[in-house]
Structures are given as structure tokens and as C-alpha cells.
Structure 1
Amino acid sequence: MELKDLEIFQVVAKKGTITAAAKELRYVQSNITSRIQKLEEELNTPLFNRHHRGMTLTPEGKKLLTYSEDITLLAKEMKKAVQSKEEPAGRLEIGTIETVFQLPNILASFVKKYKNVNLSLYSGVTDHLEKQVLDHQLDGAFVTAGNFSPEIVAHEVIEEELVLIAHHQADLTDAIQEEPVLCFSKGCGYRARLESWYEDENIHPKKIMEFGTLETILRSVVVGLGIAFVPRSSVSHLEESGLISCYSLPDAYSKVKTMFIRREDTFLTNTLQKFIETIETNKDMEIHSLKY
């Protein structure tokens, strides 16, 4: 049984057809068909139910899928461990929430120093990013502090203040009761904190509008579409320009930490270790600049 056969099997199981699997893998269909048949002959059991709409896993196929995912993941971890070098190199996939004000500095420092690393960045909300880290889809992610899985290791990046922002002509009392809440989708740590405050204050927002980017949320607040709950660092320029007003909430809701998370049980490559060290260096510089 070859590792490549298991990888092909997983793609067919995910896509549900030989045609779709061939397209993703860039193989000819006959090659995939023969590899699946070879696997079934070797295991002496059918792995798929074939029908006119495609292919679905048999009970034996479902068992193999679980084992094969563990095997291929272990093989990747083994490769990382064996190939780990002094100089960081290779691919690094990092997730982030939209509002990490320090992220450009962290990325710039890392990329300039380690030119052999191919770094990719993906955005999302905290809950989704944590799941991607747990599912080995991301090497790590910047998220809002919360009750993480026991399998997660978290490194503090910075503590910030969240503020409620509204159009500069808005009355806060009326805005809280009447204006739409502009926020990211469910799973966003900032949204969860604001919803907790609303619930504790027995306030029921009339409308919640979800957006995909911080820029769109801020522009929408500026033109008076609604209110939002965001880090003060991301809107200080708008407040100074008189385009918005900022309002503080009690510390229990407004004080928030940004964390960098990774899986505890995966091999800590030299590349990821250097990325974490870059975060720590940036954090020390931020603290030093605040003191002086």
C-alpha cells in the first residue's frame, strides 16, 4: 500500500466522483480508477458504492478514511521533523482575524529576515480559525482570547481596548437601541463580547448586519449606517478626524487579548518557531514604546 494511493483515496472520498478528483489532482481519470481498484484488491473489500451520481464510501471505506487521514498527517509531520533545518524555509500558512493592528509589522519583520519562507495569510473569525488550526489546515492563527481547546497552545500578542463606535452626530443612547449593529459573522470574539453586554444590559438590537471586512464596517459607521465594536487602535485616526465617536464599555467587555495559537501536538518546525519569536520581539517593542 503506497502513501499516494491513500492520498488519492481521500480526494475521491471528498469529491465524490473520479472526474472531480482527477481535476483536483491533475491526473487522468483512468489512473485514479486503477489506483482505487488496486487499493480495493489489496484490502480485499469494496471501498465505494458506485452509482449514477458518483461514489459514496462503504462502511469499510469510512474506516479506511479515518485511518488514512491519520497516516498521511503523521507522514507530513515526520517529513517536517526530518527536514527541519537551521535556516527557516518552506511554506507557512497563518490565519488571522481582521483587526490585528500589529500584524503588518510582524509580517514585515519576518519576511525581510527569512526570505526562503513562503508565507500565506488567510482571514476569518476566531472560532473558524481555531477549527482550521485543530484540523491541521493552518500552522497557526491570530485570534481573540477565549476558551480554547486543550489541544491548543496560545501565545499572547497584545492586549487592547474595544470601543463602541458610532457616527459623530449620533446620540449613543438612541444608537444602541435603534441603530443596526455592524459586525463580523458568528464566531467573532468581538461580536460575542458586545452581545454579552447587550444581554446583561437587557438591550435588544433591532438589526444585526454582517460584513466580511473591517474596512467595510468602518466606512459604514462613518456614513451613519450603524454602530460597531472594534479595537481602539484600528479607529483612532477616524476619531481624530472627527468622523466617528468612540464610547468605552466596562472592562469585562472591552479589555481583550489577541493571541497566536497553534496545535500542541504537532512538530514545532524551525520556521514556525522563528515566526513565534518574531511575534515576541514585536510585543517587547510595543511595550517599550508605550513606556517611553
Structure 2
Amino acid sequence: MDIQSLRIFKAVAEYGSISKAAKELNYAQSNITTRMQQLENSLQTVLFYRHNKGVTLTAKGEVLITYADKIFRILDETKEVLRDQEEPQGPLGIGSMETTAAVHLPRFLSRYHSAYPQVDLNLKTGPTSQHIEAVLNYKLDGAFVSGPLSHPDLITKKVFSEELVLVGNSLLSQSLKSHKVDDLTLLVLHKGCFYREKLKHWLHEEGVIPSKVMEFGSLDALMGCIAAGLG
């Protein structure tokens, strides 16, 4: 049973005649007859009483016409919901690195919400690798990640550039001057963080092994501990 067969069935039921339905649908009468026979065979029931004046629905046919009406109503509702609206609306899932969400996105999200209030925006923070996987698996509509990024299944656009710097108190400055960075405690975000990986790569190239690495789950906590002189 397919949608077109249901449409033909509905037309035959409404006109009470295969010939009238064929004329209305611009089909050959033999095609209508064949489709109705196929529909009855697939459902293993008789849908019409055939007589000289045309056709009349059987009890099973009456049941099917009720369900057909429901099916077509649901299809119309589905098309209406999925049709592109003049103004964007509905859910929008966006991923972002925590630093980007804290520093860059607030003003953009505020403007976007003012322009498109019907959009239900959901922002999820996390590392770049996690967001790329979520976008590829259709769990997110898009994400702000660190680049450069090249993937055949992703469309990328550069939004802004950042300068990567080390942040610390006066001890950091002294250690950098004396090349004793490995005496310091290193404060980093969770594993998978793009900045952490960049820093790890740089330290490896410089042959520096920090005496201790402390991991934090949020940017605010990390910055607060740096300000307090923890590392």
C-alpha cells in the first residue's frame, strides 16, 4: 500500500465510480482498476461492491477511508511544519568551546535572539573534537571550533582569529626569562581542549616538562586559580 494508491482509492470512493475517478485524476480507467485490485490484494480484503451504477464502499472500505483521511491530514500537517518559513523558527543546537562561548559569543547570541525570537537556541560547550563528532552525527546543527579544519562532510567558515598566549603571575615572567618553565605548575582545561593540545605541542618542541599539571573543568575556575597564584 502506497500513498498514491490511497489517493486513487479516496477518489474512487468520493465519486462512486472508477470511470469518474479516472477522468478526474487523468488516468486510464484500466490503471485505476488495476491499482484498486492491487490495493485489495495487499490488504487481503474487499474494499468496494461493484455494480452497474459504479462502486460502493464495503465495511472494510469505510474503515480504510477513515484512516486515509487521517493519513492525508497528517501529511498536510507535516508539510506545513517542515516548509521553510519567512522567519527562522524551531530548535537550533550550537556547540562551542567554553572560551569562545565566554569571550566571543554573548554579543552575537544576543543579536541573533533579538532578530529571530522564534528560534529555540541551545548552546552546548565542550572541546573541538567532541563538537566535530556531534555535528557529523547530526546531534548539533553547527559548532564554533578551533581550526584549521578540513573534512569532506563539513562546511567551514572562518569567523575570527585569536592570539594564543600564556597567562600567569610575575613568577611566569621570571621563569620564561630564565627558561625554567618546567619548575611551574601548569593549569589547563579538560582533555580534548584545543588550547591544551597546542600548549602541549609547544612545550614538547621546547623540551619542557612541567613539574605538575592541574586540570580544570571551567574557564572561570582556571582563571581564578591563576590569579590566586596557584600556577
TM-score by length of 1: 0.48
The aligned amino acid for 1:203 is: V
The list of structure 1 runs, each at least 4 consecutive aligned residues, that deviate by more than 3 angstroms after superposition, is 78-82
Give the strand-richer structure, 1 or 2.
1
Q: Which residue of 2 aligns with 1:192?
A: 197
CA distance in 1, matches of 2:215, 2:83: 43
Q: Which has the larger radius of gyration?
A: 2
2:71 paired residue number: none
Identify the residue that residue 16 of structure 1 maps to in structure 2.
Answer: none
With the length of structure 2 as denominator, give the TM-score of the two structures.
Answer: 0.60
Residue 149 of structure 2 contacts residue 156 of structure 2 at CA under 8 Å; is this kept in 1?
A: no
Aligned-residue sequence identity (percent) comes to 36
Is 1:115 aligned to residue 110 of structure 2?
Answer: no
Between the aligned partners of 2:228 and 2:180, the Cα distance in structure 1 is 14
* 8 Å Cα contact 1:126/1:143 also seen in 2: yes
Please tell me whether the aligned partners of residues 184 and 210 of structure 1 are also in contact (alpha carbons under 8 angstroms): yes
Cα offset for 1:218? 0.5
Shift, 1:80, TM fit = 10
**1:24-35 pair list within 5 angstroms:** none
Mapped to 2, the partners of 1:172 and 1:192 lie a distance apart of 21
Q: Is residue 95 from structure 1 mapped to residue 80 from structure 2 by the alignment?
A: no
Matched residues, number: 149
Unaligned runs of 5+ in 2: 1-77
Alpha-carbon distance between aligned partners in 2 of 1:168 and 1:190, rounded to the nearest angstrom: 22
- Match for 2:194: what amino acid? G
1:188, CA displacement in angstroms? 1.3
Task: Provide the C-alpha distance between the structure 2 equivalents of 1:132 and 1:97, rounded to a whole number of angstroms.
Answer: 13
| Deviation by residue 1:169-221 (Cα, 9 ceiling, x = unmatched) | 44233762122221122221111111111111111122222111111111011
Give the gaps of 5 or more residues in structure 1.
1-77, 227-292
RMSD of aligned Cα (Å): 2.1
2:132 — aligned with what? Answer: 130
The one of the two structures with greater contact order (alpha-carbon pairs below 8 A, sep at least 6) is: 1
- Note the C-alpha offset of 1:150: 2.0
Distance in 2 (CA, whole Å) between partners of 1:218 and 1:79 is 50
Partner letter of residue 172 of structure 1?
S
